[in-house]
Amino acid sequence: MAGLFITLEGGDGAGKSTQAALLEAWLQESGHPVVRTREPGGTDLGVEIREMVLHRRGHISPRAEALLYAADRAHHVATVVRPALERGDIVLQDRYLDSSVAYQGAGRILGADEVRSLSLWATEELLPDLTVLLDLDEAAGRERLDRSRTQYDRLEAEAAEFHGRVRSAFLALAEAEPTRFLVLDASLPVDEIATAVRERVASLLPAATDD
């Protein structure tokens, strides 16, 4: 595919949305076509799934939760991500399969390999060209959330031990795939993080525009 697939990952409160907005603006100013999206919720169907997995009252079994995320991902990739990449666009996405591996595989203790295999099947093996991991201590992430909202979603509301497992899983994924991941300290100033992201993305842009 002619495009470039960039994902942003990290625990709750790490600043993914802020960095995604800054990167989108920089890319567009440079003349690159950008599709900015998210999971779950990047399609009409995804919005409905997002409401179920993040805001539905009552229990959802861990395996059902993982399958709902995979269903959202399958539809999102088929209808939004792949078509954009085939057009030569840059897809800039908040969360992808690494979040499922971290949150359901490690957080819910379903097994990283099993959850990853499910997402790879759902997406026909599509992996990002670059994954930016914003690493932040789970306590610091909770403090940021406390300052920005009055109500947590189902995953944000989980105990500190859950979020500790999620963070460890993200770091393990980055260690296993160092060429795909860019790991940045999310406690650094926003502009400093944005500069590091732009430098890494700039090194990949010829692959997206060399047509």
CATH code at position 148: 3.40.50.300
Residue numbers of the domain that contains 111: 4-209
**What is the spatial distance between Cα 154 and Cα 148, in angstroms, rounded to a whole number?**
16
Q: What is the pLDDT of residues 60-96, one digit of tens each?
A: 999 999 999 999 999 999 999 999 999 999 999 999 9
Q: What is the pLDDT of residues 129-154, one digit of tens each?
A: 999 999 999 888 788 877 777 678 78
Tell me: pLDDT of 208 over 80: no
Burial 165-183 (b: 16+ CB within 10 A, else e): bbbebbeebbeeeeebbbb
Asked whether the whole model's pTM tops 0.85, one would answer yes
Continuous H helices in the chain: 16-29, 44-50, 62-76, 82-87, 97-100, 112-122, 138-148, 160-176, 190-202, 205-209
How many domains, in total, are found in the chain? 1
**What is the spatial distance between Cα 5 and Cα 96, in angstroms, rounded to a whole number?**
11
